[in-house]
Amino acid sequence: MKKLLLSLVLVGSVAQAQFWTPKATGFATASRGLDCFAIVDQNVIWAKAYDGSGAANQTIKDITKSIDGGNTWTPGVVSAFSISTLAMSSITAVSANTAWVSMYPTGAATGGIWKTTNGGTSWTKQTTALFTGGTSFTNLVYFWDENNGVCQGDPEGGYFEIYTTSNGGTTWTRVPSANIPAPLTGEYGYVHNYDVVGNTFWFGTNLGRIFRSTDMGLTWQVFQSPVSDFGGTGESGQYTFSDQNKGLLNSSFGLLWSTTDGGATWTPVVPTGTFGNNSLEYVPGTTNVISTGGATGYGSYYSLDDGLTWQVAEATTQFTVLAFRDNTTGFAGGFNTNATTGGVFKYTGTQLRTIDLTREQVSVYPNPTNGIVNITGADVKQVTVFDISGKKVYQNEFMPGDANVDLSVLEIGTYLLQATDDNGSVKTIKVIKQ
């Protein structure tokens, strides 16, 4: 009897490994949210909390820390918050013992940088990061290692108040105005609004500009982004970088852009699938991206191809900020119910591939094409093609190896060809049909 070879295409939900596992941040007060992570390594993670109850109490005292890879968390209090008119804007850490926080004033107080060397039991202000001017406002602090760090505040004296240190903050030196592009009228930064890859540092402003330093904060450039404001009530945006050049930027209006020159220029992306318009995070050095939020403010989503195609990770939960160290170490903020329930999510899935097809020397030719497209250099198992609106117009399975794809039946236009290898890694290529 002749056997029939059937090609089966499934449309709809497919069972997959759980993406997030909820953990407890340990806060006794309910509705503590997380808005800033500091991942030291695969074991040590610090996080800063905020009041998510709706009361918007800026001066809460809470941080939390894990030393077992995010499975259990121990809450703590930054002692500087005994000054009731200080609020915490960011946290950074280099070990389980050593961390820094930035503070800004909400009344009659002086902001600045505080450091702990005993795991958060006590904190000491580093007095040479002045932030004493009439318009001083400390937005963030970041350390690359135990010695080298940068902190940034709003314009004071006609230019952004930025300090660097090479001795752990014992001595902070203000970056001279000649090294920083001048602020525009009314321009300022936002708390914990930054990204870092290697020695490159970015921060955004209320006028949609991105400041960039490639030398740990010593000198700066500035670029206009496609969004009007990175934290406004009308529009806001998030940006993330995989390396010093490749990055993505989203808008609260549901738009997405990419850059290949470190944020100097941005190109619109027309993705397939739903992506979040809140937090946005690259897994460093990869094509994997995670996002949160959406039209309802809920859900998280991931892309394996630099944001071109998106899949749902979890659709019904409200997430806050994201942070990933690599393809296996990542976290999302949430809101706790009590000391033993909720507040943080640990990535425990297998969706973010450690084997990346895009690192192989994949060739797609001819492109443009009149019909046949050859894919060589990877063990292609499946090819799916989408039109520019995101509609699937072709899908076929192949024996692992090179693939020959016949697109002759498609109309003239631009398509996204998605090739999947035997490990499940994905590469997406723009193909032009003539």
pLDDT of residue 138: 97
Render pLDDT for 57-96 as a digit per residue (tens, 0 to 9). 888 889 999 999 999 999 999 986 667 889 999 999 999 9
Q: How far is CA 289 from the centre of its chain?
A: 8
pLDDT of residue 3: 28
Flag whether pLDDT at 358 surpasses 90.
Answer: no
Cα three-residue angle 249-253-254, rounded to 5 degrees: 60
pTM (two decimals): 0.80
Average pLDDT over residues 107-130: 94
What sign does the CA torsion over 69, 70, 71, 75 have?
Answer: positive
**Cβ atoms within 10 Å, residue 12:** 4
Residue type for 291, please?
A: S
SS3 33: strand
Cα three-residue angle 287-292-296, rounded to 5 degrees: 145
Average pLDDT over residues 135-158: 97
The more confidently predicted of residues 7 and 135 is 135
Burial environment of residue 11 by CB neighbours within 10 A (0 to 12, 13 to 18, 19 or more): exposed
Domain spans of the chain? 20-347, 363-433
Flag whether pLDDT at 11 surpasses 70.
Answer: no
DSSP H or E stretch at residue 65: strand 62-66
CA distances for 181 relative to 125, 131, 152, 213, 227, angstroms? 29, 19, 14, 11, 19
User: Could you tell me the pLDDT band of residue 430, with boundaries at 50, 70 and 90?
Assistant: confident
Q: What is the rounded radius of gyration, in angstroms, for the C-alpha atoms of the chain?
A: 23
pLDDT of residue 24: 98
Flag whether pLDDT at 278 surpasses 50.
Answer: yes
CB 291 within 8 A of CB 279: yes
Residue type for 337, please?
A: T
Of the candidates 195, 148, 231, the residue with the CA atom closest to the CA atom of residue 324: 195
Flag whether pLDDT at 418 surpasses 80.
Answer: yes
pLDDT of residue 424: 66
The more confidently predicted of residues 362 and 149 is 149
pLDDT of residue 9: 28
pLDDT of residue 296: 78
User: Could you tell me the pLDDT band of residue 375, with boundaries at 50, 70 and 90?
Assistant: confident
Which residues contact residue 388 at a Cβ distance below 8 angstroms, ignoring those fewer than 6 apart? 270, 413, 414, 415, 416
Average pLDDT over residues 96-114: 93
User: Could you tell me the pLDDT band of residue 339, with boundaries at 50, 70 and 90?
Assistant: very high
The string of DSSP codes covering 127-166 is TTS---STT--EEEEEESSSS-EEEEEEEETTEEEEEEES
CB 190 within 8 A of CB 205: yes
CB 67 within 8 A of CB 73: no
Flag whether pLDDT at 423 surpasses 90.
Answer: no
Flag whether pLDDT at 384 surpasses 90.
Answer: no
pLDDT of residue 353: 64
Distance, in Å, from the CA atom of 181 to the CA atom of 114, rounded to the nearest integer, reads: 27
CB 188 within 8 A of CB 205: yes
pLDDT of residue 82: 67
pLDDT of residue 63: 98
Summary mean pLDDT of the chain:
89
pLDDT of residue 214: 96
pLDDT of residue 160: 98
CATH topology of domain 20-347: Methylamine Dehydrogenase; Chain H (2.130.10)
Of the candidates 71, 237, 205, the residue with the CA atom closest to the CA atom of residue 139: 205
Helices and strands (H, E) in the chain, number of each type: 0, 35
Flag whether pLDDT at 1 surpasses 60.
Answer: no
Residue type for 168, please?
A: G
Flag whether pLDDT at 8 surpasses 50.
Answer: no
Average pLDDT over residues 243-269: 96
pLDDT of residue 354: 53
Query: In 109-266, at which residue ranges do the beta strands (DSSP E only) sit?
Result: 112-116, 124-126, 138-143, 149-156, 159-165, 173-174, 189-197, 200-205, 209-213, 221-224, 237-241, 247-251, 256-259
Q: Percent of the chain beyond pLDDT 70? A: 92
Flag whether pLDDT at 109 surpasses 90.
Answer: no
Flag whether pLDDT at 107 surpasses 70.
Answer: yes
Given CATH 2.60.40.3110, say whether it is the number of domain 363-433: yes
Flag whether pLDDT at 13 surpasses 60.
Answer: no
User: Could you tell me the pLDDT band of residue 213, with boundaries at 50, 70 and 90?
Assistant: very high
